[in-house]
Amino acid sequence: MEVITFTKDTVLSDVHVHSSSKKHLMVRLNKVGQPVFRTHFKILWQNSTLESASEDCIIITDNEDKEKQRKDEGSLVFKATKLYDMQAIENLLDEDGDLEVQRRPQSPSDRDDTREYARDVVCPTILTIGSDGQIEEEECVNNKDVIKIEHTMATPLEDVGKQIWHGAFLLADYILSQEDLFRGCTALELGAGTGFTSIIMSTVAKTVYCTDVGDDLLEMCERNMVLNRTFTEQAGGGQIKVKELNWLKNQLCTDPENPYSWTEDDIAQFYDHTTVIIAADVFYDDDLTDALFKTLYRITHALRSNCIIYLSMERRYNFTLRHMDVTCDAYNHFRNCLNNFETTSNGKQRWSVQEIKPVFPQFFIYEREHLELWKMTATPLT
Ligand SMILES: C[S@@+](CC[C@H](N)C(=O)[O-])C[C@H]1O[C@@H](n2cnc3c(N)ncnc32)[C@H](O)[C@@H]1O
Whichever domain contains 248, its CATH number is: 3.40.50.150
Rg (CA), the chain: 21
> Is the Cβ atom of 160 under 6 angstroms away from ligand 1?
yes
C-alpha 191 to ligand 1 mean position (Å) = 4
Name the closest-CA residue to atom 20, ligand 1: 246
pLDDT at residue 284 tops 50: yes
Q: Read off φ and ψ for residue 250, nearest 5 degrees.
A: -80, -20
Name the nearest CA neighbour of 42 among 115, 116, 157, 143.
Answer: 143
The pLDDT value recorded for residue 188 is 98
**Ligand 1 touching residue 193 (CB < 6 A):** yes
Q: How far is the CA of 358 from the centre of ligand 1 (A)?
A: 22
- Kindly indicate the confidence band of residue 18, based on its pLDDT and cuts at 50, 70 and 90: low
The answer to whether residue 75 is domain-embedded is: no
122 lines ligand 1 (CB under 6 A): no
Under 8 Å between Cβ of 352 and 377: yes
| Ligand 1 center to 200 CA (angstroms) | 17
The pLDDT value given to residue 337: 96
Reported residue count of the chain is 382
Q: What domain range is 325 assigned to?
A: 158-380
Q: Is the CB of 189 under 6 A from ligand 1?
A: no
Give the pairing of strands 125-126 and 25-29.
Answer: parallel
- Pairing state of beta strands 48-53 and 35-42? unpaired
Does 257 fall in a domain? yes
Q: Which of 160, 189, 289, 316 to mutate to test the pocket of ligand 1 (most atoms within 8 A of CB)?
A: 160
Residue 378 predicted with pLDDT over 50 = yes
Determine the residue type at 319: F
Q: How far apart are CA 292 and CA 302, in angstroms?
A: 15
pLDDT: is 167 or 124 the higher one?
167
- CA of 292 from ligand 1 middle (Å) equals 10
State the closest ligand 1 atom to the C-alpha of 214, by its place in the atom list counted from 1. 25
Looking at the predicted structure, is the pLDDT value of residue 294 above 60?
Answer: yes
Asked whether residue 197 is assigned to any structural domain, the reply reads yes
Structural domain includes residue 145: no
312 in any annotated domain: yes
Contact 355, 372 (CB under 8 A): yes
Ligand 1 atom at minimum distance from 217 CA = 25
Strand order in the sheet with 25-29: 125-126, 25-29, 35-42, 146-151
Give me the mean pLDDT over the 236-265 stretch.
Answer: 96
The model's pTM is: 0.77
Q: Kindly state if the Cβ of 124 falls inside 6 Å of ligand 1.
A: no
CB contact at 8 A, 194 and 208: no
The alpha carbon of 246 and the centre of ligand 1 are apart by a number of angstroms equal to 10
Instruction: Decide: 3 in ligand 1 pocket, CB within 6 A.
Output: no
Q: What is the mean pLDDT of the chain?
A: 77
Nearest CA-CA partner of 275 in 208, 338, 344: 208
Closest ligand 1 atom number to CA of residue 196:
9
* CA 340 – ligand 1 centroid, Å: 22
Q: What is the percent of the chain where pLDDT is above 90?
A: 51
Higher pLDDT, 244 or 77: 244
Q: Out of 175-179, 261-265, 285-289, 324-328, which region has the weakest mean confidence (pLDDT)? A: 324-328
In this structure, the number of other CB atoms found within 10 A of the CB of residue 229 comes to: 17
* Distances in whole angstroms, Cα of residue 167 to Cα of each of 84, 109, 310, 312, 373: 22, 31, 11, 5, 8
CA of 212 to the centre of ligand 1 (A): 6
**23 CA distance to ligand 1 centroid (A)?**
25
Calculate how far, in angstroms, residue 101's C-alpha sits from the geometric centre of ligand 1.
Answer: 26
Query: Poorest-confidence range of 117-126, 190-199, 349-358?
Result: 117-126
Rounded to the nearest 10 degrees, what angle do helices 286-302 and 329-343 cross at? 30
Residue 239 forms part of a structural domain: yes
Number of compact structural domains in the chain? 1
| 109 Cβ neighbours under 8 A, 6+ residues apart | none
357-371 pLDDT tens trace: 999 999 998 999 999
Residue (of 34, 30, 25) closest to 6 by Cα position: 34
Task: Please report the pLDDT score of residue 86 as a whole number.
Answer: 44
Q: What is the DSSP letter of 160?
A: G
Q: Three-state SS for 315?
A: coil
The answer to the question of residue 170 being in a domain is: yes
Probe target for ligand 1 pocket from 189, 213, 262, 286, with the most ligand atoms within 8 Å of CB: 213
Asked if the structure places residue 360 within a domain, the reply is yes
Distances in whole angstroms, Cα of residue 153 to Cα of each of 36, 120, 156, 187: 7, 11, 11, 28
Is 8 a residue whose pLDDT tops 60?
A: no
* pLDDT-derived band at 144, boundaries 50, 70, 90: confident
pLDDT of residue 158: 86
Give the pairing type, strands 4-5 and 25-29: unpaired
Residue 34: band (very low, low, confident or very high) from pLDDT cuts 50, 70, 90 = confident
pLDDT of residue 24: 62
- Does residue 195 have its Cβ closer than 6 Å to ligand 1? no
